Structure 1
Amino acid sequence: MSIERPAHGLMLQSKVESGAACIAVIGMGYVGLPLAVAFAESGSRVLAVDLDVAKVDALNAGRSYIRHIDGARIAPLVDQGLIDATADMARFDEADVLLICVPTPITRHLEPDLGYVVATTEMIAKTLRRGQCVILESTTYPGTTREVMQPILEAGGLAAGRDFFLAYSPEREDPGNPDFSTTRIPKVVGADDPTSLDIALALYRRIVPQAIAVSSAATAEAVKITENVFRSVNIALVNELKLVFGAMGIDVWEVIDAAKTKPFGFMPFYPGPGLGGHCIPIDPFYLTWKAREYNQHTRFIELAGQINSSMPERVVQALAEALDAHSGKGLRGARVLVLGVAYKKNVDDIRESPALRLMELLEARGASADFHDPHVDRIDNTREHPTLNFRAGIPWDLEAIAGYDVVLIATDHDAVDYCALVEASPLVIDTRNACARAGAPLDRVVRA
C-alpha cells in the first residue's frame, strides 16, 4: 500500500530539486563553510548563519577565514546574492531547509555535550513553520535526531514527517585533502519517514556525486560513528605496534610501507603523537556512552581510546631520554621547539591537537615549549589548554631554531624544509617520520 505524502512535502522536494529552495547552513566552521559554498555554487541561495560576528563580517566582505577555503570562491557568490551571512537566528523562517553544522564536544568526564545542538534546535523551533526541513550534520550518537531534536521541534504542535521534515546526514569533511572536497564525497542520508528522506536526498544530490539512503536517522548516525571508530581503533593498533617494534629495534614505518604492498587484506594506518581534530578523539566516546544505556560494554573501543590518549606522555618520555642520551641534559630548563600545532598536516585547525598536550607536558616537567607552524600564527583561546592561550608562534629562522636543545615534530606540514631543519637542529624528535620521507640525514633524528 502506497503512503500518502504531505502536499507541502512534495512542494518542498520540487523546490529543492529546481534549486529554488533557500538553504540555511548553521555553523560556519570547517564543515559548514564548505557546505555553504558548495550549495551556493550549485545556484541555491544560502543563508550562512553563525553567532561569531567576525565570521559573518568576513563572509559578507567576500573573505575566507579558513586557509583551505579560497576567498576567491566566496566573493562572487556574495556579489551574486547567493551567500548572505548573518548572526540573526530570527531569520530561520526565511529558509526552506536548515542544515545544522555545530560542534558536538565531550565533557571532561567523556560524556556527550549536545549543548550546541540543543540550543540551535531550540532557536529553530521558535520560527519553525510547515514545509521546512531540518537536517543535522553534526556527529553524534545514534538516536540524537529522534530522541533529542524531534521532541524540541514538535513542542509547538507541528509533527515531524507531516508538517515539517527531519533527517540526518553525517559530515564527511577531510580538511586540507585536495582529492576529496565537499562535492566529491558521497553523502549518507537517513530519516524516519519517506518524505523527509526524499527531500534530503534531493538536496544533497545537487552537490555530491552520490547520496546513499539508509533506513533511519539512527542508522545514518551509526554510520558516522562507525567510520571514526574504525580509524581510532586502527590508529591505536599501529601506535601499540610502534612501541612493541621499537623495543625490538624494528622500524614500524618500514613495516607498514612493506605491508601495504599486499593488494588485499591490509589497509595502512600510521602512528603519531596522539589523535586530534573534531572527530576521531571524540566520537567513539559518544558510542561508548550510548551503549551503556543498553547495558553493552565497548571494551575494545575504550582500550583504543586509552592507547591513543597515552601517546603524548610516551612521546615526552622518549624526548627526555633522547635529550639525556644526546647531551646529558634533562628536560628541566631545556628549550623545546614544537613543530606544528595543527591536528593534521596542511590545515590551520588546532582542535584537540596532541601538540597542545605535548606542550603542556613539556612545561610541566620544567622545559620551555615554543612552536612554529606555517599555518597557525597563534594558539587561540581554548577551554582545555588555558596556559597556552594566545601564545604566538615563532617565525621560520634556522639560526633561531639552532638555539633550541631539541625540535619535536608533532605535525608534518608539507610547507617545511625538513632537510634544512635537521641540518640546523642539534636533535630532532620525529613523531611522523617526516624527516625520513623528506630524505633528510637521520643521525640526529629520533623517531618517537
Structure 2
Amino acid sequence: MAVDADYLHSLVNWNQGSIGPEIFISDEIYKLEQERIFGRSWLFLAHDSMIPNPHDFFATYMGGDPVLVVRQPDGSVKAFLNACRHRGMRVCRAEEGNTRSFMCTYHGWTYDSAGKLQSVPNQEDAYFGKLSLEDNGLIQVAQVDSYKGMIFGNFDPTAPPLHDYLGDLKYYIDGWVDHAEGGIEVLPGAIKWTINANWKLAAEQFAGDTYHATTTHLSSLLSFGPGFDAKDGAHVSLREGHGESFLFERHTRFEDDPLGQYNEEKRRIARERVGDRADMVANFNAFPNFSGLPGSANIRVWHPKGPNKFEIWSFTVVEKNAPEEAKRAQQISASFTEGAAGVVETDDGENWGMISGVLEQGYQARKMAWNYEMGLGTEREHPDFPGEYHDSFFGEAGQRGFYRRWLEFMTTEAWPVIPPEERNGTADAVTAGSNTGGAR
C-alpha cells in the first residue's frame, strides 16, 4: 500500500487513542521519516561541555545521517555531514576529539574544521585546475542553535527558530538545568547500545508512559523504594509534540554518600532558582528523539538505524560546580540504573525487542490497533504548569501528542506550522519567572 496522507491518517487516530502498529515496522514509513521527521526537526547534537575548546568535535547522527559538530575558533558551533563530497566516505572515524582538519581516507580530500575543502591530491594533474574547492565543502546543517548549553541542529532552513520549536518544554527544561550557578555539564563517556526495535517505542515511553513502571520495573522499585502511584504526580502534553511526566517529591536514595549529601545541600538553592521544580522527578521527550530522566541525571538520544533497529546514546548530566566526588557518584548511579546493563534499563530494552519481534514475524498482530486511550478527555489548564495538564502520573496524553505531531510532519510537504491559537500555555511568561513554583 502506498504511504500517502490517507494511509497514515488511517493508522494514526491520535484523537481517539488508536495507533496502527504498521508505523513501527514499515520500511516505506521509515524512509519517509528520514525525509520529513529527521530532515525537518530540531535534533539534539551535543552539549557545550562536550566541545568546550576551539576545534573540538563530536560525531553523532541526525536521523540516519552521520554529522560532525565542531566548535569554531570564534566560539560558535557548526555542524556538517560526515561525508566527503567526492564519494561520500566518512571524513572522520573518531567519535570525538580536537583537530584542525578532517581527511577522507579514500582519496585524500581534506577539509578544515569549518567544513571547507582545503586540498585535493594531484589537483592540477587530475582535474586540470578546474575543480572548485569553494563549491565542494562539506554539506552544512542549515541551522544550529542552543538552549541552556544544549546544541541542536536542523537540516531545514525554513524551520522556525529552536526557541519556538521547544515551546513550553523550556519551562520544564529550566527545572533541571538551572539548579545551581554554572548550570549543567555532560560527563565524558557516552554509553551506546543497540535495540532491535523501532525508535518511536522508546521516544513515546519517555513522552509520558510512567504506567509501565509499576509492572516492568517492579523488582527495582522494591529494591530502591519508596514506590509511587498515580496520585503522586502528573503529566503534560505539549502541542509541539513534546511530553513530560513528573513526581512532585524527590527522595534521596543515597543519603550516606557524597551524592546524597550534595543533593541535600543544593536543594535550598535549587528551590530559590526554580521553585518546586527542584523537587520534581521527571521523564521527558523532546520531539522527536531527545529524551531524559532528569531525576536520574540522564539524557539520551534514540538514533534510528532502520524500521526495526535503533541505538541508544546515554549521557550523565551533573551540576558543573558540583564536587568531583558527587559527580563520580552520580555517574556510577546513572550507569547502575540507566546504563546498557542497568537494573532499570534492561527491562525496557527487553520489552521493546519483544514487541518488535511480534510485529516482524507476524501478520495478524500488525493489523491490531493499539490502545492509547488512557486519560483521554481529562486534560485541563493549570496555573503553574504550561501545556495540556493531567492530574495523574499515569496517562497517555504525551504519546497522543507525540503521534499528532508525527502525523503532521509526515503528511505535509511544507514545514508544519502550529497555529498560534493551538499552542498550550504561555511558555515565555512562565520561563521569564524561573522561580515559579509548582502545585503540590
| TM-score normalised by L of structure 2 | 0.25
Q: Which has the higher contact order (CA 8 A, sep 6+)?
A: 2
**Structure with greater helix share of residues:** 1
**Structure with greater strand share of residues:** 2
Q: Larger C-alpha radius of gyration, 1 or 2? A: 1
| TM-score normalised by L of structure 1 | 0.25
